[in-house]
Structure formats: C-alpha cells, structure tokens
C-alpha cells in the first residue's frame, strides 16, 4: 500500500483554504470481491491531537479545511510472474504482464470512511472500513455521528479506562463502548458491513 500526502491550497474571498489529500491503494480480497484489504488513514498521535502544533511539519492539522483520501482499489492478477531483473526494450512494453487490473478510483473525506479499529497492526494508525460500496459512498462508522465524534474517539482511543463489569477494568477501543461512555445516540453508529450487497 502506498501513501503520498499533498496539500491543495485555494483562495476564498477572505482566506486561503487548504485541503490535505493522501493517496492510498488497496486490493480487493479474492474470495470476497466486495471487500478490500483496507488501509490506514493516518496517525492519531501528536499531529492529530495537537491541532495547532507546527513541530516537524509545514502546516498544523487544524489549518486544513478538510482531510481527504484519493484512492485506488484494484485486483491482483492471479498467476502472473515477472522477472524483476529482466530488461525490456520500448518495443516490448506490451509484453510485460500486469500484476494488477480492474482499477476503481475514489475520493472520500477520511472521517467518513474510518473504522473504529487501528490499521496495519499499528495502534497509532486509524484504520479504514473495508466494504467497497461503503467506501465509495462514504458510509463509514462515524458518518451519522459526525466529524466531532470521529475526532473525539480517535483522540481518546485506547486511553479511557472503564469497568469491564467483572471487577476489572478495560480501555475503550470500540465505537460502541465510546458512544455509550459519552452517553451519545447509539442508533447513529453505522456497523461495519462485511457482507456482499
């Protein structure tokens, strides 16, 4: 999976508007083509939490008018082998077997395609949903709750300690537990959809 971050800056009547755009790629799961492997939407570390900090960055998180994901979902080509050290002439380009096919492009606001779980096995990364239709329609877990819930959840992910109901404690790492803890509207949580349309 590749990630490239760019900043788009435009002018409104009174101010500059900046949009952060991350480029992401992921592949369809072969036996479940309605699902993709998912991807990370960035870190919920210091940059995400301290929205005015300029340490080691050009622009702080809070200076952007929006954070978007420009993505490509593709199929891996089965049975393709490539000699990675072979040299080709220009006239032979058509003979190079592609390892990917069936590209689908999308643009989505990050918070609208976010999961409530960390991505890539790294607890500092925000994970995406993986149902392709939901990604294309920006139908993530936080969509009905709103961006402020996404921010609050990921700023506090794995930090709030509550009773586990069995004389112990646990850290909140699910949106359901978090919304319950904040006394929010549980009906606004969009459950992860891992089923075919």
CATH of the domain at 170: 3.40.600.10
In a domain, 193, yes or no: no
In a domain, 30, yes or no: yes
The whole-number pLDDT of residue 1 equals 41
In a domain, 195, yes or no: no
In a domain, 36, yes or no: yes
In a domain, 196, yes or no: no
Structural domains in the chain (count): 1
Residue 151, number of CB atoms within 10 A of its CB: 17
Cα 101-102-103 angle, rounded to 5 deg: 100
In a domain, 151, yes or no: yes
Q: If 0-12 CB within 10 Å is exposed, 13-18 middle and 19+ buried, where does residue 18 land?
A: middle
The whole-number pLDDT of residue 3 equals 47
**C-alpha to C-alpha distance for 52 and 56, rounded to whole angstroms:** 12
Render each residue's pLDDT in the chain as its tens digit; 197 residues.
444 555 555 666 666 788 889 999 999 999 999 999 999 998 888 889 999 988 877 889 999 889 999 999 999 887 666 677 888 888 887 877 788 899 999 999 999 999 999 987 767 899 999 999 999 999 999 999 999 999 999 999 999 999 998 999 999 999 999 999 999 999 999 998 888 87
Domain that holds residue 135: 3-188
In a domain, 96, yes or no: yes
- Buried residues in 8-17 as b, exposed as e (16+ CB within 10 A): eeeeeeeeee
Tokens of 193: 């959809």
For residue 36, give Cα distances in angstroms to 15, 137, 174: 38, 14, 21
In a domain, 78, yes or no: yes
The whole-number pLDDT of residue 10 equals 60
């Amino acid at each position: 999976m590749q990630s490239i971050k760019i900043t788009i800056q435009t002018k409104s009547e009174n101010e500059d508007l900046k949009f952060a755009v991350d480029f992401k790629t992921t592949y369809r799961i072969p036996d479940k083509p309605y699902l993709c492997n998912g991807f990370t939407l960035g870190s919920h570390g210091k940059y995400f939490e301290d929205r005015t900090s300029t340490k080691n960055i050009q622009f702080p998180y809070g200076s952007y008018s929006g954070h978007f994901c420009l993505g490509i979902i593709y199929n891996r080509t089965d049975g393709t082998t490539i000699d990675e050290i072979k040299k080709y002439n220009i006239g032979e380009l058509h003979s190079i077997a592609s390892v990917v096919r069936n590209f689908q492009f999308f643009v989505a606001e990050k918070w609208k395609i976010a999961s409530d779980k960390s991505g890539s096995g790294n607890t500092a990364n925000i994970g995406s949903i993986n149902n392709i239709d939901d990604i294309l329609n920006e139908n993530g877990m936080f969509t009905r709750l709103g961006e402020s819930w996404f921010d609050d959840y990921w700023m506090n992910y794995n930090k709030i300690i509550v009773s586990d109901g069995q004389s112990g404690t646990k850290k909140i790492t699910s949106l359901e537990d978090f919304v319950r803890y904040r006394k929010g509207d549980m009906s606004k949580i969009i459950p992860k959809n891992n089923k075919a349309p």
